[in-house]
């Protein structure tokens, strides 16, 4: 029918959308609806998928702006607060506070998890999408990280394998940020733990490099003309000569 | 997360918050929301969300479900219609426009006098 064609053109007609529509229909049923118009259901499903993508995008951006590639609890909480700020919530003046517990948006979420009945998905277990790569083990052989497998499939194969510093780091008692989050105590990250992490991340090697490094002089342009003069005066040509030494 | 350390907050208060948070995250593992894991993973990966911790993925899910429920609490009828949905969504800043009816030809429904024959 013509109506169906028009509706399908606006919504994303792919597999994940269809699955999401089933889930949304189940939620509608649990509220009390006996049926739904197709355009309404599809619009609601569209909103659900966009909301999920928005949470993911905001939390990823929040992590990136803090210099991390992997999001953590605070990123997600900040994302949820941002999205809930459209209609407002109690305690919104206190966004991004140290304690996630403070904002009403998160507290509503906790109440929902606690008190609402759980409804399992109607369909049997779904095929796991292979491109996500989350939860796959990194391919580590001979203390090197090899690409083109699992999580690192996007990295070109011709790049050399990376030596891992994980073993040495563990000997010195350093803890990677991601690993520390997997432990239960990671949630208790207060000022005490922050100081601990900062002292652990302090690398003695870095200080040695800073001390040992000598002066490096660059000459740009006609080398012959400016020979003997340590400053770089610019000029034409693209050559440079390194005059450094340790 | 940032370098801001607030020493004014009592350590006991934060400790309580953190234990409550830990409990909540632990309860998330038992929670089976309607939207399945794989679907959530797919959408998160599509938006560039990277996290090895599965608990945080579970956390994104209840947010979506709560959102759905809130929107539907507005109009409680037997059948979800487009009108009710668009009214409810307007409060959230989402404008959903829907045609009220479809016509066969551009002149359908007009007076017979104004139709070209």
Query: Given 3-state DSSP classes, what are the helix, strand and coil percentages for chain A, each rounded to the nearest 5?
Result: 50, 5, 45
Tokens of A149: 């497998």
| Mean pLDDT computed over A93-116 | 69
Q: How far is A241 from chain B (nearest CA, A)?
A: 40
Considering only residues B46 and B17, tell me which one the structure prediction assigns the higher pLDDT. B46
Using pLDDT thresholds of 50, 70 and 90, give the confidence band for residue A212.
Answer: low
pLDDT tops 60 at residue A246: no
| pLDDT at site A113 | 73
Lowest mean pLDDT of A82-91, A160-169, A231-240, B66-75, name the range. A231-240
**CB-CB: which of A99, A109, A178 is closest to B66?**
A109
- Tokens encoding B112: 């017979």
Q: How confident is the model at residue A241 (pLDDT cuts 50, 70, 90)?
A: very low
How many residues are given for chain B?
Answer: 117
Distances in whole angstroms, Cα of residue B71 to Cα of each of A35, A36, A47, A79, B65? 16, 14, 11, 19, 10
Kindly state the percentage of chain B with pLDDT values over 90: 0
Q: Which pLDDT band, with edges at 50, 70 and 90, does A31 fall under?
A: confident
For B61, the closest chain A residue by CA position comes to A52
State the Rg of chain B over Cα: 25
Strands A218-220, A144-145: parallel, antiparallel or unpaired by DSSP? unpaired
pTM above 0.95, yes or no: no
- Are the CB atoms for A242 and A216 separated by under 8 Å? yes
- Provide the chain B residues 78-117 that lie in CB contact (below 8 A) with chain A: 78-82, 84-85, 89, 91-94, 96, 98, 102
Q: What is the dihedral of CA A188, A191, A196, A201, to 10 degrees?
A: 100
Which of B9, B32, B53 minimises the CB distance to A181? B53
Residues of A in contact with B90 (CB under 8 A): none
pLDDT of A226 strictly over 50: no
Alpha helices, DSSP H, located in A11-37: 15-31
| Reported confidence tier of residue A65, pLDDT bands at 50, 70, 90 | very high
Q: Give A194 or B44, the one with higher predicted confidence.
A: B44
Specify the 3-state DSSP secondary structure of A242. strand
What does the pLDDT read at residue A61?
A: 92
Q: Judge whether residue B11 has pLDDT over 60.
A: no
Query: What is the pLDDT averaged over residues A215-236?
Result: 59
DSSP track, A44-80: HHHHHHHHHHHHHHHHHHHHHHTT-SS--HHHHHHHH
Q: Could you report the per-residue pLDDT of B85-94, keeping only the tens digit for each? A: 888 888 788 8
Which three-class secondary structure string do you get for chain B?
CCCCCCCCCCHHHHHHHHHHHHHHHHHHHHCCCCCCHHHHHHHHHHCCCCCCCHHHHHHHHHHHHHHHHHHHHCCCCCEECHHHHHHHHHCCCCCCCCCCCCCCCCCCCCCHHHCCC
């Amino acid at each position: 029918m013509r109506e169906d064609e028009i509706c399908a053109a606006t919504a994303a007609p792919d597999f994940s959308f269809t699955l999401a529509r089933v889930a949304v229909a189940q939620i509608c049923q649990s509220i009390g609806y006996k049926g739904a118009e197709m355009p309404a259901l599809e619009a609601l499903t569209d909103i659900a998928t966009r909301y999920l993508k928005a949470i993911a995008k905001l939390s990823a951006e929040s992590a990136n702006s803090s210099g991390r590639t992997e999001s953590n609890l605070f990123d997600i909480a900040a994302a949820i607060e941002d999205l809930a700020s459209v209609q407002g919530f109690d305690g919104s003046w206190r966004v991004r506070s140290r304690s996630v517990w403070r904002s009403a948006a998160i507290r509503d979420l906790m109440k929902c998890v606690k008190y609402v009945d759980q409804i399992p998905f109607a369909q049997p277990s779904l095929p796991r999408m292979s491109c996500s790569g989350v939860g796959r083990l990194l391919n580590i052989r001979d203390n090197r990280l090899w690409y083109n497998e699992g999580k690192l499939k996007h990295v070109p194969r011709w790049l050399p394998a990376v030596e891992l510093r994980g073993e040495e780091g563990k000997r010195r008692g350093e803890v990677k940020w991601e690993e520390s989050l997997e432990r239960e105590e990671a949630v208790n990250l207060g000022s005490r733990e922050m100081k601990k992490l900062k002292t652990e991340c302090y690398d003695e090697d870095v200080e040695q490099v800073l001390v040992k490094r000598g002066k490096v002089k660059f000459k740009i342009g006609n080398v012959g003309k400016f020979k003997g003069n340590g400053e770089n005066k610019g000029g034409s040509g693209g050559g440079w000569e390194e005059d450094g030494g340790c | 997360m940032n370098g801001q350390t607030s020493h004014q907050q009592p350590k006991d208060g934060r400790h309580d918050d953190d234990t409550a948070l830990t409990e909540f995250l632990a309860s998330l593992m038992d929670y089976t929301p309607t939207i399945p894991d794989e679907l959530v993973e797919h959408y998160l990966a599509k938006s560039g969300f990277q996290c090895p911790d599965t608990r945080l993925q579970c956390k994104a899910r209840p947010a979506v479900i709560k959102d759905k429920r809130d929107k539907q609490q507005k109009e409680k009828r037997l059948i979800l219609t487009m009108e009710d949905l668009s009214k409810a969504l307007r409060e959230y800043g989402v404008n959903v426009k829907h045609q009220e009816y479809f016509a066969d030809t551009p002149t359908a429904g007009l007076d017979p006098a104004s139709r070209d024959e």
